[in-house]
Structure 1
């Protein structure tokens, strides 16, 4: 029975408008349908949901006498008073103001017939006012139709995004609940065309196939509980192989007691379980259900109930990480943290200590392998010729310095700080071979080749590499660190942008490439097709879930495959109505610049560093990579002196 909540209960419920876009309406209505014990939920929208939304179910229905109360503010059948709220909410839609809030900003029609009733009733609401109520013949269950959303609130309507964007949000909501409730047959139709439909057989993998396609479904791994102690009563579902991923975390679906939520803490725990098997900008598919005592999770911290708060968030994250990692380990998709080749068996064979000659032979082999890796790393630098610097150490020097010695390090200039003599510096350098001296060299004009004068970058003297990732240099004002990957990425980006500005040259593929799509991606192909064509892609739908790519930009031919179109399609629906092809091109070129750029943990020769710095200096913006990360970090002389407390009384003596 539906009833109004008392004032004390209403005050404890988070205030906030539940209707901000069509997807908000769809979410509330689908949750109500699932709560109504529906076995079938059909969602149909027009113009992305801005013109018409219809949600039909075969649930328990609403008695005719309760219809008016159903659209009243703070009226519900799901909680009685504040005690129910304190005990935790076990239903999806419970707050009671959803239909009231929707009816206040639209033309709302509710048609319902309870199970076993002879006939149903229909109620019509416009702008919050009941305008008609009458008996009607209709199937068992409830149908809610929302038309002209925000017709009476033009200021809010103008903030809606493009139809494709609004439908993308609707698609995400319906997909989420289709995956959360595999026992319910859920379908979504847009402008008369079915986007997807699940079978409702209770098979979650089958639901994944309907929503994300056969390729994704075939690469999902079952998650079956955790051995970790914590607040979760159960954790289970499906996660994808590391190779099956996307550029957005939107496909990491989390259900808390059956409620589809964003739950950032759970999403982060899922991604962390993959360790280094995923690139930092890639995310897996996941359909993960966690069960927890309703009293220990607050689903009312967000006006639209998208976020939840766990009483023991750390314990929850630990259990989720363990469950996902165990599932991936069982499939052999990630390695354990034990070093390669080291067994976890109960007994380990004990071999005799090798003789000194054998140990020296092994060290020699390790040094040869390391040298090959250094050469390969130096030759990997793109956009400049990797000049090999002169060898500065003997084999015995390398043996003394250890296997972690960087490929090259220029000698440091003695400054006599604090009365320290150059002899003291030389003595310490002989003791610690991490920074090796460079033989005396001069250019034709007699200058030190380690000194670099630039127009944009500060003039600097390169000292060496730190962790084979950062170039270390001295300037007149202090110390400079340069991220070699970010620097090379900036250089490559500006070169690609210059070529792209001259016009997009396309390259026809010898054979068209077919790319599998999710329901969301497939729905975005048509709205994005014109922009894709301007970027140099010729891509059309071969069927409902397959994209056929026949041409790509010539710039991409060797750097990335046609599968990149999939990320672009998704990106075009991220909700920015001001997004232009030019901005999309810059984002694309920024990603492309990353592929060939020299990576961290790569030893560079002095010559390649010189070329890299010269190319960086010629860039329009040498201080940030195309993704916004800093390229150059400078530590000033004053900051160094403060850190070393050189103003300490009596220090100058």
Structure 2
């Protein structure tokens, strides 16, 4: 037989290839088994894994169970009680599992034991499978429901076993899957255990916020806002409901953006993008909110049979779905006064209302009401004040000289006239804010004065690495526009400042790690996922300069931080670092050394100039000069481009200046 000869694979090889598509790692098996439990009408599901699921998985439920004959058929390939034929598949699948391949696929690459007893009555049965072959079927003692135990996963597929990650990484995937199904089914009591220790347990009360508290903690649960999604634009979705977090409660990865389509947990990228877009500029770059969103749609208009793992779905009209989700989330945030209206950015800049510091003490300390928050959101005078506070928190950068002050009218800083005499209710509400916040804002206005717009430079700046350029201005207050001898360049100001800060941090970190003790230990509440990661990486955190300890199931006490983050990110960065240990953005970061670079890239983002920030001519030149001195001025530490060039030939081609007869 020659290498090029076409031949039929033997059944055993086909079986293992197919099983590999369904079961990629322990979390894949957990996902399939949880889906079976929920489809079996379970009110309680317990997931227990050993060594991240590498050494063992057990999923137990109190569902309808199976009789002996049903159990024997269940482990055969493509046997299911959930669909009958192609018509069921085409009309839309209502159950989580439907292909009839989960138990067969898991049994093909492990030693599988299933013990089950029908809820309707009858004897319990235990069946064992090894490498796809049933080895024993016998009576057993078991309450109604089903227990599935998976041992020696991939024992007969060494190639797949070799690519399993560290136990902490594998358990993180198990945790994510189990958490997702717990959130999707608040009426089911879901428990997750790792190495005989409980990670989290939900009550099954049906209360979504209570379920969020069980898996994410009280801090996150209290920050969640309700998305009713009843009044949404026309489109495929019948409704969008759930919870999204306050903008200030966020993380560095999308892991906490949970989307469910007809109760099915999926990574619906179109929905995730819509959620983030709804927050507009209230989220810093590379930060993501918590979300638990349920999308209801006619099953016939969505394809769940896109991928063997059933983690992806295909909508017939993705643009309409995005519009509906974004609208629903935006409305929820607007009702809470958490985002601005969706008027185009910068449209009102030329005629922006004057803002003057309030020098009069408030008459009362009445807290802000929902009505106050809403009126400040909708009316113009207070809008720039909100933007100033948001931008100054993330965008000040003394090293680059970049100004993040607002663009205000000529008398925004110098005129001390009391605007309350004009009868402005907005100014009265500003006066009722916390005194320290008002004083901070007053100092900002007095210090910065009127922001000048960047105008075209008359001089060409000379650089060594970057092309020599003459600065023309800013585009959308986000990109520096400059002319070169060869054409035109755009410089992303945030990406540029990130690169500058990253290389400075990398140089600082190249020596011995220094730490700074906190005056008072800081306590942070972690999610179930973060707490488990912390327990696995305490020593690694210490090597980075974070000395901390768990003082409860979900609370960590931070005593020292790396000196390089003391003035910017602080103790809360531990949450992001924990994620980087498991899933670096550029690679799997399973060691401290591999995580350091990702950490520095994240740290560089915190003090960097943000988009939508007006720059003066001097700060632009200074930024470009610092960028030019970088080892790699053309990419930010996350890999995004910093400089985009358009040469003259390309520009002329786009304008079709070479058409016949043109002189």
- TM-score normalized with structure 2 length: 0.78
Deviation at 1:21, TM superposition (A): 0.7
Match in the other structure for 1:316: 321
Q: How does 1:502-581 map to 2 (within 5 A)?
A: 502-574=511-583, 577=588, 579-581=590-592
* Distance in 1 (alpha carbons) for counterparts of 2:402 and 2:218: 45
Specify whether residues 327 and 578 from structure 1 end up closer, same or farther in structure 2 by C-alpha distance, changes over 3 A only. closer
Q: How does 1:228-627 map to 2 (within 5 A)?
A: 228=232, 229-337=234-342, 382-383=398-399, 406-411=453-458, 450-574=459-583, 577=588, 579-627=590-638
C-alpha RMSD of matched pairs (Å): 3.2
SS of residue matched to 2:506: helix
Deviation at 1:169, TM superposition (A): 0.8
* Structure 1 unmatched runs, 5+: 1-13, 343-358, 388-393, 396-402, 412-449
* Distance in 2 (alpha carbons) for counterparts of 1:471 and 1:643: 21
Match in the other structure for 2:414: none
Tell which structure's C-alpha radius of gyration is larger.
1
What does the per-residue CA deviation read over 1:102-122, in whole Å, with 9 as the maximum and x for residues that have no partner? 111000001011124343111
Q: Is the 8 A contact 1:239 1:324 kept in 2?
A: yes
Deviation at 1:647, TM superposition (A): 4.4
* Distance in 1 (alpha carbons) for counterparts of 2:255 and 2:106: 26
SS of residue matched to 2:21: coil
Specify whether residues 100 and 307 from structure 1 end up closer, same or farther in structure 2 by C-alpha distance, changes over 3 A only. same
Task: Tell me whether 1:205 sits opposite 2:209 in the alignment.
Answer: yes
Match in the other structure for 1:214: 218
SS of residue matched to 1:510: strand
Specify whether residues 454 and 186 from structure 1 end up closer, same or farther in structure 2 by C-alpha distance, changes over 3 A only. same
* Structure 2 unmatched runs, 5+: 1-17, 358-383, 404-409, 412-449
Match in the other structure for 2:378: none
The number of aligned residues is: 562
Q: Is the 8 A contact 1:22 1:170 kept in 2?
A: yes
SS of residue matched to 1:17: helix
Q: Is the 8 A contact 1:226 1:319 kept in 2?
A: no
Q: Is the 8 A contact 1:226 1:320 kept in 2?
A: no
Match in the other structure for 2:85: 81
Specify whether residues 107 and 626 from structure 1 end up closer, same or farther in structure 2 by C-alpha distance, changes over 3 A only. same
Specify whether residues 386 and 281 from structure 1 end up closer, same or farther in structure 2 by C-alpha distance, changes over 3 A only. closer
Task: Tell me whether 1:48 sits opposite 2:59 in the alignment.
Answer: no
Specify whether residues 339 and 627 from structure 1 end up closer, same or farther in structure 2 by C-alpha distance, changes over 3 A only. closer
* Distance in 1 (alpha carbons) for counterparts of 2:242 and 2:660: 65
Query: Out of 633, 636, 644, which is 2:647 matched to?
Result: 636
SS of residue matched to 1:222: strand
What does the per-residue CA deviation read over 1:530-584, in whole Å, with 9 as the maximum and x for residues that have no partner? 2211211112211111111110011111111211111111221227556443442
Which 10-residue stretch deviates more, 278-287 or 174-183?
278-287
Specify whether residues 522 and 456 from structure 1 end up closer, same or farther in structure 2 by C-alpha distance, changes over 3 A only. same
Task: Tell me whether 1:104 sits opposite 2:108 in the alignment.
Answer: yes
* Distance in 1 (alpha carbons) for counterparts of 2:271 and 2:162: 34
* Distance in 2 (alpha carbons) for counterparts of 1:66 and 1:327: 47
Deviation at 1:95, TM superposition (A): 1.1
Match in the other structure for 2:195: 191
Deviation at 1:643, TM superposition (A): 4.2
Specify whether residues 184 and 619 from structure 1 end up closer, same or farther in structure 2 by C-alpha distance, changes over 3 A only. same
SS of residue matched to 1:76: coil
What does the per-residue CA deviation read over 1:157-193, in whole Å, with 9 as the maximum and x for residues that have no partner? 1111111111111111111111111111110000000
Q: Is the 8 A contact 2:125 2:138 kept in 1?
A: yes
* Distance in 2 (alpha carbons) for counterparts of 1:385 and 1:318: 39
Specify whether residues 44 and 493 from structure 1 end up closer, same or farther in structure 2 by C-alpha distance, changes over 3 A only. same
